[in-house]
Amino acid sequence: MEASQGTLPLNTCHVQKLLLIINRLHMLLHSMALGFLFYYRVCFLFQDQENRVSHLLPWLLVFTSEIILSFIWFLGQAYRWRPVSRFVFPERLPEDDKLPAVDVFICTADPIKEPTLEVMNTVLSSMALDYPQEKIHVYLSDDGCSPMTLYGVRKAWEFARWWLPFCRRYKIKNRCPKAYFSALESDDNDFARSSFYMEDKQKIKRKYEAFKEEIETFRKAEAFSRDSITVGDHSSVIEVMQEDIIDDVDNVKMPQLVYVSRERKSSSPHHFKAGALNVLLRVSAVMSNSPYILDLDCDMFCNDPTSARYAMCFHLDPKISSSLSFVQFPQKFHNISKKDIYDSQLRSLFTLQWQGMDGLKGPVLSGTGFYMKRVSLYGNQANEGWTDLLQLREYFGSSNEFIKSLTQNYTSVFFPGRNTLLEEPHLLASCRYETGTKWGQDVGFLYDSVVEDFLTGFILHCNGWNSVFCEPSRPQFLGTATTNLNDVLIQGTRWYSGLFENGISKFCPLIYGSLRMPLLQSLCFAELTYFPLYCLPLWCFATIPQLCLQRGIPLYPKVSDTFFIVFFFIFLSSLSKHLLEVFLTGGTLHNWINEQRIWMMKSTTCDLYGCLDALLKKVGIRQASFLPTDKAEDDEQTLLYQNDKYDFRASNIFIVPMLALLTVNIFCLVVGVYRVILVGDWDKMFIQVALASFIITVNYPIIEGLVIRKDKGRISQSNTTLLHH
């Protein structure tokens, strides 16, 4: 296939040289300071025996915490070794008839937590991509097997016959109906002042309002409330939206839209989202078998219709296409508040770490917003040219039609309207199909972790595949960020449990990865898996120095000691480097403070619970679980979030530890300062006083939520009562 017209490149990659120099200079200076810190700690072992014995336990705890922090810091420097930025030239792509087809995968599981209208907006935006319509095939997986969702798909198909021609006719940029018709979206196309455009817009808006009303009416129906909330055993349901004739609609080209609800049995593992994606991978293979796949979360709508063309600028580049598995776009969100108090945009991840990995062998697979080469998910066996049918069935299952789809010249026998041919997709969506195969192990999205995206991307890199990170100026996809503390911490617990689980499994990046990929790349993966270990040093630094402060036990050098400069430099170096990175990525001082704050909150709660959960699953005490994040909008929560007020209506398992640590710091600071004033040893206790003061200052919103605030998002008195008990 042609990669470009003429000799002009489809994309370019530039190393960010100034940032590279700053990063490496900081690594050198910070590493030297850490070396002096370790020297200071080791020298303690050679002090007089009486002093060493009385202070040994707290000293060892603090030293161990410093080692853990330094270890995580060291791993994280791999991101900063070679940051790059990429630019694409979609106008240089070949003609539309030479572009490859794309299958779009969208997964939903709960019509309550993931409102149907929001899901349908994502479906409609993906159908309206600026790409040859006959080469787009959209598959919606509904693990809830909800009549609400199926009804929504049917109605979305009807509305799409009006919406898609409107978007093409007027070259609409935002092709998500909800976002387009919102007050925030302005008309910035060439037809904005045309009376025909305004008439058409009002006509389509009436159609959209009718579409919304139909879904809302069905939602209120008794059948939905009775049948769709609790998911039991059920057979697979597959429905292809048909070309029904609708009055007043021109003969428009429509992408294929398929509803898929895989078979569910309580006796068979369903493997959460990875299982749903693998069903879509198989079903789509015998229906459309597009060489590339776009995966989207159900709330992550297409904000710009050009993403497929941007991705093809990499996939069709002959210099990198043979080893390129996926193109990852950043996750961005439409409902982020100005100060982003929960760091829901994950600024560090998508504006720093992924760019850094892109300068090595490519970023981590991030769950949504990626265009993947289908064949890369079939394992290395798919490229070995096997002809033994028994070997192929051992890997891919019993479907001869699916095995035929592995060949490059395969043409699907499926045609819309011939429902008898859906027997093969039903077989591929059955519970028994994967039994005795390599699905979820060597083939498809992997099952050994609840963060299937991380593990799948990691193994792809281990198998020799690469990836690239593409971040155009206009966000290609926009999702719905969590806007309350409880959901943020629940989501974090699930992520950190899955990540740490990989770190203590056979897929440990430092062992399994370092043997199969470049060292720096394996360090990046390792930093993600061991990031939850921040909970250990943070709990130590938030308790041990404070308790020692009130008892007069020094754990740090005196202000007059030369080594005081070392500790002060390390503290200042870490904070200032973080602040610089926030500023360089368009953040503000408020963003920096809020990131420090939410990092501390997460480290003391969901990091800890995530590590414990992973350990319990490792020894077989717990089983893996997956709870979808609530995407339903709550006006009260949204108002608090937009006003930058923390919503402390969270579970006690999150609130009580934060209150406990804050109480310890306040009490020990008051007692410790009183004692220091009486004794007069400010010199040797200064760092411990400053540390307690810093923790209290950073966590001021907790004090505010407990003492000052009177709104519904304040900390409940029941939390303080529980703490006293």
Kindly give the residue spans of alpha helices, DSSP state H, lying in 463-588: 485-503, 519-530, 535-541, 544-551, 563-584
Domain limits, CATH 3.90.550.10, in the chain: 90-385+396-410+421-481
The residue type at 645: K
Q: What is the pLDDT of residue 346?
A: 87
Measured CA to CA, the distance from residue 496 to residue 488 in angstroms comes to 12
Q: How far apart are the first and last CA of the chain?
A: 70
Measured CA to CA, the distance from residue 223 to residue 720 in angstroms comes to 43
Residues of the chain above pLDDT 90, percent: 65
Q: What is the pLDDT of residue 338?
A: 85
Kindly give the residue spans of alpha helices, DSSP state H, lying in 45-115: 49-76
pTM of this prediction exceeds 0.85: yes
Beta-sheet pairing, 237-240 with 324-328: unpaired
Burial readout 192-222 (b: 16 or more C-beta within 10 A, e: otherwise): eeeeebeebbeebeebbeebbebbeebbeee
Name the catalytic one among 453, 607, 630, 647: 453
How does residue 1 score in pLDDT terms, banded at 50, 70 and 90? very low
Kindly give the residue spans of alpha helices, DSSP state H, lying in 365-451: 389-396, 400-404, 423-428
Measured CA to CA, the distance from residue 508 to residue 501 in angstroms comes to 9
Q: Which tokens hold the place of 499?
A: 């990540």
635 labelled catalytic:
no
Name the catalytic one among 103, 130, 142, 143: 143
Residue 389, pLDDT > 70, answer yes
Measured CA to CA, the distance from residue 25 to residue 511 in angstroms comes to 28
Measured CA to CA, the distance from residue 299 to residue 282 in angstroms comes to 23
Measured CA to CA, the distance from residue 558 to residue 542 in angstroms comes to 20
Highest mean pLDDT among 1-10, 255-264, 612-621: 255-264
Residue 97, pLDDT > 70, answer yes
The residue type at 111: P
How does residue 493 score in pLDDT terms, banded at 50, 70 and 90? very high
Beta-sheet pairing, 11-15 with 84-88: antiparallel
Q: What is the mean pLDDT of the chain?
A: 88
Q: What is the pLDDT of residue 232?
A: 72
Measured CA to CA, the distance from residue 11 to residue 90 in angstroms comes to 9
Residue 342, pLDDT > 70, answer yes
CB 630 within 8 A of CB 487: yes
250 labelled catalytic:
no
Q: What is the pLDDT of residue 46?
A: 76
Q: What is the pLDDT of residue 219?
A: 85
Residue 634, pLDDT > 80, answer no
How does residue 418 score in pLDDT terms, banded at 50, 70 and 90? very low
Q: Which of 686, 671, 696, 682 is nearest to 556 (CA)?
A: 686
What mean pLDDT do residues 35-64 have? 83
Q: Which tokens hold the place of 436?
A: 């005795």
CATH class of residue range 90-385+396-410+421-481: alpha beta
pLDDT tens digits along 277-303: 999 999 999 999 999 999 999 999 999
- According to the annotation, is 113 in a ligand binding site? yes
What mean pLDDT do residues 185-202 have? 74
What mean pLDDT do residues 173-184 have? 86
- According to the annotation, is 114 in a ligand binding site? yes
- According to the annotation, is 273 in a ligand binding site? yes
* Residue 45: how many other CB atoms lie within 10 Å: 11
- According to the annotation, is 213 in a ligand binding site? no
Q: What is the pLDDT of residue 5?
A: 45
Burial class (CB in 10 A: 0-12, 13-18, 19+), 16: middle
- According to the annotation, is 404 in a ligand binding site? no
Residue 191, pLDDT > 90, answer no
